[in-house]
């Protein structure tokens, strides 16, 4: 197969992969972020401690993460057909990709939020901040660099899932690699597809790492140091009042 024959196929497949990964990432982030924060808030010692809710949500997330994607696609075929009207093509692949990405991202969010300094939470509580204020002003902003890195990891994982979806008619670059590279014995086509995926993943990783580092550097002069300074001054103020 010549390059002039490959080019339109590769362009169409790349666009399909972009659509699948883009929409599934958006859904995974919008659903996984509150889910991961909820796991932290309802854990023992959390602001909304509720062991039952934490265990139930945690088990649901664990089941979603442990299920191989190819099995998840098959298990969700009826639901996918109900949502999109079909089980074939890039639009249909978005459903299992998003559902598979939600628990994956939720666990990454949970890990990122747990790394936030508990002293900052206590400082906001001492100033009368409620749970929503703490989540919005402390937990999410302080964990933002890690959340960016988690989003990057999720996008890369979903690219791999999308290639797997191509083996069962999901479209995209994975579908081309199977149909032309494997079934039609076009190894050049397969290697070009592999190269495109490798370049895409490298660029995404570079962009994600750069964004995370930039946010981390900017965060050094943000709200967290001011809150730490305020917290450090409180004991000093108390000592002065005792002396008086």
Q: Give the tens place of pLDDT for each residue, 73-110.
A: 888 889 989 988 887 888 888 999 999 999 999 999 99
Given a contact cutoff of 8 angstroms between Cβ atoms, the answer to whether 152 and 205 are in contact is: yes
Euclidean distance between CA atoms 178 and 165, whole angstroms = 11
pLDDT of the residue at 227: 53
Q: Is the dihedral of CA 212, 218, 220, 223 positive or negative?
A: negative
pLDDT of the residue at 112: 92
pLDDT of the residue at 28: 95
pLDDT of the residue at 232: 47
pLDDT of the residue at 171: 76
Given a contact cutoff of 8 angstroms between Cβ atoms, the answer to whether 79 and 95 are in contact is: yes
Q: Which residues of the chain have pLDDT under 70?
A: 1-3, 167, 182-183, 219-244
Q: In terms of Cα–Cα distance, which of 162, 156, 9, 157 is closest to 89?
A: 162
Q: Can you give the pTM of this predicted structure?
A: 0.84
Given a contact cutoff of 8 angstroms between Cβ atoms, the answer to whether 181 and 187 are in contact is: yes
Q: Give the tens place of pLDDT for each residue, 118-138.
A: 888 888 888 887 888 888 888
pLDDT of the residue at 233: 47
Three-class SS string for the chain? CCHHHHHHHHHHHHHHHHHHHHHHHHHHHHHHHHHHHHHHHCCCCCCCCCHHHHHHHHHHHHHHHHCCHHHHHHHCHHHHHHHHCCCCCHHHHHHHHHHHHHHHHHHHHHHHHHCCCHHHHHHHHHCCCCHHHHHHHHHHHHHHHHHHHHHHHHHHHHHHHHHHHHHHCCCCHHHHHHHHHHHCCCHHHHHHHHHHHHHHHHHHHHHHHHHHHHHHHHHCCCHHHHHHHHHHHHHHHHHHHHHC
């Amino acid at each position: 197969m010549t390059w002039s024959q490959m080019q339109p196929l590769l362009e169409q497949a790349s666009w399909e992969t972009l659509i699948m990964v883009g929409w599934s990432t958006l859904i995974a982030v919008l659903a996984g972020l509150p889910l991961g924060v909820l796991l932290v808030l309802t854990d023992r010692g959390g602001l909304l401690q509720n062991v039952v809710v934490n265990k139930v949500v945690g088990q649901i997330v664990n089941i979603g993460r442990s299920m191989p994607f190819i099995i998840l696609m098959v298990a969700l075929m009826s639901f996918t057909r109900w949502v999109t009207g079909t089980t074939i093509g890039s639009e249909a692949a978005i459903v299992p990709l998003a559902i598979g990405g939600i628990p994956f991202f939720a666990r990454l969010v949970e890990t990122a939020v747990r790394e936030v300094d508990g002293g900052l939470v206590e400082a906001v509580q001492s100033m009368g901040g409620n749970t929503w204020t703490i989540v919005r002003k402390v937990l999410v902003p302080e964990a933002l660099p890690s959340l960016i890195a988690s989003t990057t990891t999720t996008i890369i994982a979903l690219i791999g899932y999308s290639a797997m979806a191509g083996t069962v008619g999901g479209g995209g670059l994975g579908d081309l690699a199977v149909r032309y590279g494997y079934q039609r014995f076009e190894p050049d086509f397969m290697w070009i597809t592999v190269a495109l995926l490798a370049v895409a993943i490298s660029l995404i990783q570079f962009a994600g790492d750069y964004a995370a580092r930039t946010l981390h550097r900017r965060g050094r002069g943000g709200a967290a140091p001011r809150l730490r300074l305020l917290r450090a001054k409180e004991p000093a103020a108390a000592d002065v009042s005792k002396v008086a």
